[in-house]
Structure 1
Amino acid sequence: MTPGSASPVKVAAEQRHIIALDLDGTVLDHGFHGAGDDPDGGRIDPDLAEAIRALHEAGHEVVIATGRSVDATLPIVERLRIRPDWVIAANGAVTLRRDPLAHRAYRREYVEAFDPSDALRKIRTQLVTARFAVELADGGFLYTEPIPTGTLPSRQRMVPFEQLLGVQASRVVVVSPDHRLEEFLDAVETLGLTHVSYAVGNTSWLDIAPDGVTKASALEVVAARLGIDRSRVFAAGDGRNDIDMLRWAAHSGDSVAMGQAVPEVQAAAGRVTGTVEQGGLLSALRVRFPELLG
């Protein structure tokens, strides 16, 4: 079947895949500005959106797996016009499940949290001019100075640094605009963070999650709940926070790094596709699911 066909083909239960998709830089193109563009959420190629809907309607388990907060993730799901049963936010710290009794309502099925005090104190000694924020386990957001908010929760409150300590956090965000990316990476390498998982973005942005929590760890739980073997997992992403997911999916299934991803991200994936501007995800999906999208 091709996107736009009147009656979607349904895949057999033993052929169902988990299709795990990062958002920013994978589904969402932030470099395009024009008709249909969302200045806060980025552009979604209409052909890509149609392909994702075709896979979803055929019975594959499309799982959005993003570093965004819940508040910033669900509007993108709405824009895709799909109703996935599972959504992974905050780099795996929050896993949502759709309420079967409500049309588009999601509940927090799994929430991983930790006390970020030690990590915050340690980072502050190295990055004294950085901006710090904590995404709370209940979805709130505390920050010391304004941070670009397109991917963060809407419920926010500015507080002194000390009020970030001793809370239950699903993730910590550190932004250091005074440092070049190379300087930021060097500083992070010297921190010796333990009992936390962390990923550095393409700008001077650090996401810290509870120990062992990644997109991959959340997907492993979802796969077990669904009874879908890892050989039937497809994952796509472009950032350092996607490395564990791409490596996990490539082990027995299929994973794709976007063409603009840095070399270490590309190395973690099973293969590399075109950039987001080139429609790389759509090309990769067509290769993997030709019977539906060819």
Structure 2
Amino acid sequence: MSATESTTTRPGEAAWQPKLVALDIDGTLLRWIEGTGTTSEALSDKVRDAVRRAYDAGAHVVLSSGRSAHSMTGIADLLGLPDEGAERLWIVASNGAVVLRYPPVEVVHEETFDARAAVEKIVERRPNVLVAVENRGLGYRFNRPFPEGELDGDHLIAPIEEMVAEPVSRVIIRDPDATPEDFLALGRELGLHGIDYVVGYTAWLDLTPVGVSKASGLSYVCDELGLEPADVLAIGDGRNDVEMLEWAGRGVAMGNAPEVVQKIADAVTAHVADDGAALELSRWF
């Protein structure tokens, strides 16, 4: 699909308008900084205005990201959401493992799992990997520091066995010397039974409980709001957005998304550098 396809009329549903807008953050709302695994924390005016139009029209705007909860509230603040005195925002964090309301931060749903066996297998194959788990609400614990800017919040160094001694909502595996293809092959090779995994743009592997994804987190939100997947417009750019885009009534991939993500989407909008999210939202609001 081309970027222009996302501007055509939805077949057979000319009157359809999203009741909930699910938005990925990095690579969708925020632009990647070339040569790094991080994004700029500056929103373009076009994207901010488009999100605000959706919100002002009465749509539930839900930030849905692989980011930890504490690193998503600042994006809500940049968007000026929610309005003062209005209903608190819904946020789906940690690839669906954590659902919260904001402000203030209130975790209303969390999925955890035993990651010990999977992490032991990975470290056995790649002993030099960086391993991190979220220290919810504060930052991260990791075995060694990650590349600058990749993990925010407070940082605490801890032994791997200590980090996964208790159930966790997500484990991050990182190898700056590897490629995403290396990690895709590693996931297939290990099997990782009972655990789902997603590989990012860099050699970044997220381990989550089976069945947990942005789609499952958004499904929880929809149940609370009395909405259906058919009411949802979802926009994303990463492999961790695939389930969300397939689940939503309309799933739109960014023009910078990998081919595998674009293929499963209902439409493809423009590149994040060209404010593709704003283009899609402007179609409806």
> TM-score of the superposition, structure 2-length normalised?
0.86
1:273 aligns with 2:269: yes
Give the unaligned 5+ runs of structure 2.
1-15, 83-87
| Cα distance in 2 for residues equivalent to 1:273 and 1:209 | 28
The root-mean-square deviation of aligned C-alpha atoms, in Å, is 2.0
1:191 aligns with 2:190: yes
Contact 1:140 1:156 in 2 (8 A): yes
| Cα distance in 2 for residues equivalent to 1:16 and 1:165 | 40
Contact 1:41 1:76 in 2 (8 A): no
Structure 1 residues 209 and 153, CA gap change in structure 2 (3 angstroms): farther
| Equivalent position of 1:9 in the other structure | none
| Aligned 1:122-137 pairs, distance under 5 A | 122-136=121-135
| Cα distance in 1 for residues equivalent to 2:273 and 2:18 | 29
| Equivalent position of 2:10 in the other structure | none
Contact 2:52 2:79 in 1 (8 A): yes
| Equivalent position of 1:79 in the other structure | 78
Structure 1 residue matching 2:243: 3-state secondary structure? helix
| Cα distance in 1 for residues equivalent to 2:203 and 2:156 | 22
| Cα distance in 2 for residues equivalent to 1:220 and 1:246 | 12
Q: 2:93 aligns with which of 66, 80, 89?
A: 89
Structure 1 residue matching 2:72: 3-state secondary structure? helix
Structure 1 residues 44 and 154, CA gap change in structure 2 (3 angstroms): same
| Aligned 1:1-294 pairs, distance under 5 A | 17-31=19-33, 41-83=40-82, 85-98=89-102, 104-136=103-135, 141-148=140-147, 150=149, 152-249=151-248, 253-287=249-283, 289=284, 292=285
| Cα distance in 2 for residues equivalent to 1:70 and 1:226 | 20
| Cα distance in 2 for residues equivalent to 1:139 and 1:169 | 15
Once the two structures are superposed, residues 8-64 of structure 1 have per-residue CA deviations (whole angstroms, 9 ceiling, x without a partner) of xxxxxx9661100000000001238xxxxxx97433111210111121122100000
Query: Comparing 211-220 with 148-157, which one deviates more in the overlay?
Result: 148-157
| Cα distance in 2 for residues equivalent to 1:60 and 1:157 | 39
Once the two structures are superposed, residues 222-270 of structure 1 have per-residue CA deviations (whole angstroms, 9 ceiling, x without a partner) of 1111011222110000001101101111xxx111000111111111211
Query: Comparing 156-165 with 253-262, which one deviates more in the overlay?
Result: 156-165
| Cα distance in 2 for residues equivalent to 1:269 and 1:40 | 23
Percent sequence identity is 37
Contact 1:69 1:152 in 2 (8 A): no
| Cα distance in 2 for residues equivalent to 1:197 and 1:180 | 19
Give the unaligned 5+ runs of structure 1.
1-13, 33-38, 99-103
1:138: Cα distance to partner?
6.4
> TM-score of the superposition, structure 1-length normalised?
0.83
| Cα distance in 2 for residues equivalent to 1:210 and 1:43 | 32
How many residue pairs match? The answer is 262
Structure 1 residues 53 and 219, CA gap change in structure 2 (3 angstroms): same
Name which structure has the greater RCO, CA cutoff 8 Å, separation 6+: 2
